[in-house]
């Protein structure tokens, strides 16, 4: 085929550019999609040839009359569309909490932000295998409020070329523009999930044109991206569109992942009120909100007076995409049967502690004195399990007891770590552990990991450990980029993790590639009885060394959140603080004051009897 030449003069040094080391590039051959032809960029990466397509439209721009509605397929185009520039991010705010700090700003959009944002990226390695390549579809995280497929850290080039898979990343609406919900078809809710679904439809219809197999698709994502994938496992609309799933640090039962439509409507009314759009009828309210400038939504989205783990606009149980509450779906066995790979990072909670201010600071060790412990714990769990419900004091006391470092309760650093573990377990680790448990109980293939490597380039405070999201750079191969000064052992870890992820995408087993005998690898199945998992860290420095294997990660702590806390909440739900105080005082009266009174009364009786006996003596 004809090659379309393109000479690019490079001024950027970002690792997201596929032209870091050379200045001459080519366009790819035109690729036919169901809506029209596209061309991308052809480049050389680490000795491999890679075709990259940036910003392929998979939906009509969700603007004007399409705001708050489910996405529609795009109109066809007649010319060859150049998909060679990173697409705009969906509307969102920049993180300015830590100005000029790379650890925070790396997650900020590196392109323009626009409401017209429904595009996807595709990375295609050019190898001798030109057909039926395995396809990995990335769904980004960001609290359903932030995120973009154009971020440097989500560049799929190394993952694609190192292991010969096609990588696709789907952009979806976030915040209120993605998850505003009303009570009519004009604002059905879950637009962000339907964006993802339409992106998966695009893969089914078109990926074979790029050399991929629509019958070998693996979803992978982190945080709210992983929660989204968990919801795709539950949705009857999604199940036929992928074969496997990888969930990093979340699951569909995460306490922040879904809310009821009623709660979403209340939040939507609060948002409409900020725009002076609240009207008698919902139709009039929506008509007004559709005239609001796109830029005003992100800055007004945070309608909740709550901490950083209470996300305002999230998926709802709509009866269409989600038929029922995720917990009920698992109870009823109503979920997709397929292999899953999933896991958590060692310190999932630390990132969110520093955003909630208080005693936690990224720049110092943040010791928590014993007398501060319950106060700081309440700050993190003020609304429980979801805004606007305030935490029950019985539950707060139980959490405090569960995570007190009883080996040395006076140690302020162990107290700090206890709060970090409580936040991380409740929000991320245990929803992931519980999903693994459900799938293992159903007899399905489950592979679980604990990511336990703190990058040598991590700019956050040392005390924050192996943080939420830290594995992403290693999954996408950033350590292989010579613009970063990673250690050799970290490059090996990244290669090993990419191999695990792509093997799983190809065969359903992270240990084996196509054609190899299964069941003989280092990563054991996560059984219901044993709960086996591997530890991903730099002990892989020796190519012949096997990873550490553990069992029953966080089982006791997760049983606390799954079983004990809901029971405690139910049994104390109608008990007011006054009643609680009275019961406590009654208990003290019964066990302390009454005992003392009884002793004094017994002493009085004995003394009286002694005197009476003395008086009656002859």
Report in angstroms the alpha-carbon separations of 191 from 68, 144, 220, 251. 7, 11, 20, 19
Question: Which one is catalytic: 223, 228, 235, 494?
Answer: 223
Contact present, 254 and 227 (Cβ < 8 Å) = yes
Question: Which residue, among 487, 474, 428, 455, has the nearest Cα to 154 in the 3D structure?
Answer: 474
How many helices (H) and strands (E) in the chain?
20, 16
Q: d(Cα 7, Cα 117) in Å, to the nearest integer?
A: 27
Instruction: Give the residues across from 125 on adjacent strands.
Output: 50
Distance CA 615, CA 618 (A): 8
DSSP reduced 3-state for 262 = helix
What tokens does 609 get?
């009897």
**Which phi and psi angles does 368 have, rounded to 5°?**
-120, 110
Q: What is the DSSP string of 561-612?
A: IIIIHHHHHHHHTT--HHHHHHHHHHHHIIIIIHHHHHHHHHHHHHHHHHHH
C-alpha span between 582 and 326 (Å, rounded)? 38
Tokens representing 552? 């029953």
| Residues contacting 579, CB < 8 A, separation 6+ | none
Helix (H), strand (E) at residue 85 = none
Using an 8 Å Cβ cutoff, are 148 and 178 in contact? no
Residue 38 · residue 83 · CB < 8 Å: yes
Residues 6+ apart with CB under 8 A from 377: 396, 399, 400, 403, 419, 422
Tell the residue number behind the tokens 């520093």, with chain if given. Answer: 354
Q: How far apart are CA 591 and CA 594, in angstroms?
A: 6
- Do 164 and 156 form a contact (C-beta atoms < 8 A)? no
Q: Which residue among the candidates 26, 115, 222, 348 is catalytic per the annotation?
A: 348
How far apart are the C-alpha atoms of 185 and 181, rounded to whole Å?
A: 9
- Angle at CA of residue 52, ends 50 and 57, nearest 5°: 160
Q: Out of 468, 490, 494, 526, pick the active-site residue.
A: 468
CA atoms within 13 A on the CB side of 251: 24
DSSP per residue, 90-158: PS-----SSTT-HHHHTTS-SS-B-S---EEEEEEE--S--SSEEEEEEE--STTT---TTSGGG--HH
Which residue, among 21, 26, 20, 33, has the nearest Cα to 3 in the 3D structure? Answer: 26
Say whether 223 is catalytic: yes
Distance, in Å, from the CA atom of 434 to the CA atom of 247, rounded to the nearest integer, reads: 12
Torsion over CA of 514, 516, 520 and 526, rounded to 10 degrees?
Answer: 20
- Active site residue ranges: 223, 348, 468
């Amino acid at each position: 085929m004809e090659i379309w030449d393109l000479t690019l003069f490079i001024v950027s040094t970002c690792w997201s550019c596929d032209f870091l080391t050379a200045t001459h590039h080519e366009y790819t051959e035109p690729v036919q999609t169901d809506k029209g032809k596209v061309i991308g960029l052809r480049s050389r990466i680490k000795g491999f040839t890679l075709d990259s397509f940036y910003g392929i439209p998979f939906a009509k721009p969700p603007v004007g009359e399409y705001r708050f509605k489910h996405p529609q397929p795009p109109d066809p185009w007649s010319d060859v569309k150049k998909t060679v520039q990173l697409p705009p991010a969906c509307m969102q705010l920049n993180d300015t909490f830590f100005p000029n700090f790379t650890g925070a700003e790396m997650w900020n959009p590196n392109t323009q932000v626009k409401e017209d944002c429904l595009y996807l990226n595709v990375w295609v390695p050019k190898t001798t295998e030109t057909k039926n390549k395995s396809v990995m579809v990335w769904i980004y995280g960001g609290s359903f409020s932030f995120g973009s497929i154009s971020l440097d850290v989500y560049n799929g080039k190394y993952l694609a070329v190192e292991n010969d898979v096609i990588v696709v990343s789907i952009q979806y609406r976030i915040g209120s523009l993605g998850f505003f919900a009303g009570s009519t078809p004009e604002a059905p809710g879950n637009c962000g999930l339907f964006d993802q679904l339409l992106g998966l439809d695009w893969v089914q219809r078109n990926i074979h044109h790029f050399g991929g197999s629509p019958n070998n698709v693996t979803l992978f994502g982190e945080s709210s991206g992983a929660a989204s994938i968990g919801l795709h496992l539950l949705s009857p609309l999604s199940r036929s569109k992928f074969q496997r799933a990888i969930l990093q640090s979340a699951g569909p039962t995460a306490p922040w992942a879904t809310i009821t439509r009623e709660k979403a409507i209340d939040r939507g009314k609060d948002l409409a009120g900020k725009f002076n759009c609240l009207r008698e009828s919902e139709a009039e309210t929506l008509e007004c909100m559709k005239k609001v400038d796109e830029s005003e939504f992100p800055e007004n989205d945070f309608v909740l007076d709550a901490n950083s783990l209470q996300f305002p606009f999230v998926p709802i149980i709509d009866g269409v995409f989600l038929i029922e509450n995720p917990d009920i779906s698992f109870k009823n066995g109503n979920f997709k049967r397929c292999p899953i790979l999933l896991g958590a990072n060692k310190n999932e909670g630390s990132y969110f502690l520093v955003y909630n201010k208080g005693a936690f600071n990224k720049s110092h060790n943040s010791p928590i004195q014993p007398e501060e412990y319950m106060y700081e714990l309440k700050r993190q769990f003020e609304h429980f399990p979801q805004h606007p419900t305030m935490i029950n004091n019985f539950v707060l006391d139980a959490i405090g007891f569960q995570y007190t470092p009883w080996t040395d309760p006076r140690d302020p650093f162990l107290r700090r770590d206890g709060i970090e573990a409580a936040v991380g377990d409740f929000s991320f680790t245990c929803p992931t552990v519980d999903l693994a448990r459900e799938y293992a109980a159903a007899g399905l293939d489950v592979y679980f990991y604990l990511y336990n490597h703190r990058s040598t380039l991590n700019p956050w405070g040392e005390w924050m450990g192996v943080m939420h999201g830290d594995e992403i750079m290693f999954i996408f191969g950033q350590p292989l980029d010579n613009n970063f000064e990673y250690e050799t052992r970290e490059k090996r870890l990244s290669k090993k993790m990419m191999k695990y992820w792509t093997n799983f995408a190809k065969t359903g087993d992270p240990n084996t590639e196509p054609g190899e005998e299964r069941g003989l690898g280092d990563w054991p199945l996560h059984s219901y009885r044993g709960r086996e998992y591997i530890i991903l860290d730099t002990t892989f420095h020796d190519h012949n060394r096997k990873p550490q294997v553990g069992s029953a990660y966080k089982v006791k702590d997760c049983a606390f959140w799954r079983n004990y806390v809901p029971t405690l909440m139910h049994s104390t739900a109608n008990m007011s603080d006054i009643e609680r105080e009275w019961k406590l005082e009654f208990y003290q009266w019964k066990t302390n004051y009454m005992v003392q009174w009884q002793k004094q009364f017994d002493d009085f009786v004995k003394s009286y009897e002694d005197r009476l006996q003395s008086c009656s003596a002859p």
